[in-house]
A and B are shown apart, each in its own frame.
Chain A
């Protein structure tokens, strides 16, 4: 076990050869390794966009937190929103290992210089949307993200492992919510179908443009950042989802959807790429609202961040005073240690 690892030096002469050899050997690139500038830039863009999507992704469902129909649904939704925040933070931390700064990334999101997934620019009109987002949107995200657990960049791959474990809850709670509605009244069933009609095509667009229009795919695949093309992942998602829709008793809004015996998969229609382009370029139904909300949260939270820094500075000054034996500070130290004990006892 030990000897096997030692006995595998990567044969290479230049840094670039070495990088290529590590990637080709399915080993991982780690933060302080040499890497091509374009590899670093691609990862920063992709991880930042992914992180932003998690953070913005809290908003569409967040609208329903105070309107959830039961305490159970509310607790679930809250836990899901907390997960999205957590996912955003894992990813920002991964991006930072590449030499970018968190505050800088937030600034780029708010000023529109970095993007997030187009899906979050659609509105959540009914509570059934919460279920459909879990089922379709998180389902599509899982399809995209599972292969990223094997991404060549270590910190990103490790963040994805953590995220994928948690996403499964998101999808299942959504599907269960929809099953509950489908067992309800006709009006509730219509509500589910309406939500499916609105979210189906945007969900398919989450995999990005068709392979013919995805110029960076080949390079990302060579670098083993990406493992499958957009179209491959989209097909996989449709194949997984159709039987789930049948079980649920909803109709997917695609007249071209039919089983292909030869291929052993489902044929489906072409998403409206013009719509995807419009939404990506800011003309979706909620783009402005999402960014405005994020900006407001960031700016209104500034005083909290400042207060935390001021408090840390004050405590650090107190501790220095205690260590240097300043008599006035002894009382403070005493109170503080009691306080700490109390908290530790919880």
Chain B
């Protein structure tokens, strides 16, 4: 058992289910390199035609915000209700708006 804890890097897997849809994160896997990650992702996440395109990206290449929902990071959008269409009162009888 020579593989160490720092063995195969972790990859995140994204699948595009059909043309016209975004790639969506589906899970992760370990692989020795990018090519093997792609093959493993195919075998692991698309055994039943779940996708037409796959992305794999090393987890350590992802930059993420902190998990705390109360993080001030998201504050700028919190008090701007006027960005939503429902903020504006328009009379019922005005059509197509």
Contact = CB atoms under 8 A, between A and B. Distances in A.
Interface of A: 2-3, 6, 9-10, 30-33, 79, 82-83, 86, 89-90, 93, 96, 101-104, 107, 158-159, 162, 166, 298-299, 302, 305-306, 308-309, 311-312, 315-316
Task: Please give me the 7 A-B residue pairs with the lowest Cβ-Cβ distance, nearest first.
Answer: A312-B33, A32-B67, A308-B32, A312-B32, A93-B28, A101-B5, A309-B32
Given A2-B84, A89-B44, A312-B33, A305 B3 contact: yes
A2 B80 CA distance: 12
A90 B45 CA distance: 9
Contacts of B43: 82, 86
A309 B77 CA distance: 45
Interface string B43-56: 11001100000000
Contacts, number: 72
Contacts of A93: 27-29
Interface in B1-20: 1-5, 7-8, 10
B95 interface: no
Interface of B: 1-5, 7-8, 10, 26-30, 32-33, 36, 43-44, 47-48, 66-67, 69-70, 77-78, 81, 84, 86
Given A9-B69, A102-B30, 9 more contacts: A79-B47, A83-B47, A89-B44, A96-B28, A103-B5, A107-B1, A166-B47, A305-B32, A311-B32
B1 A104 contact: no
Contacts of A104: 5
A27 B33 CA distance: 35
A309 B8 contact: yes
B67 A33 contact: yes
Task: Name, among B3, B29, B36, B48, the residue most crowded by chain A CB atoms within 10 Å (CB to CB).
Answer: B3
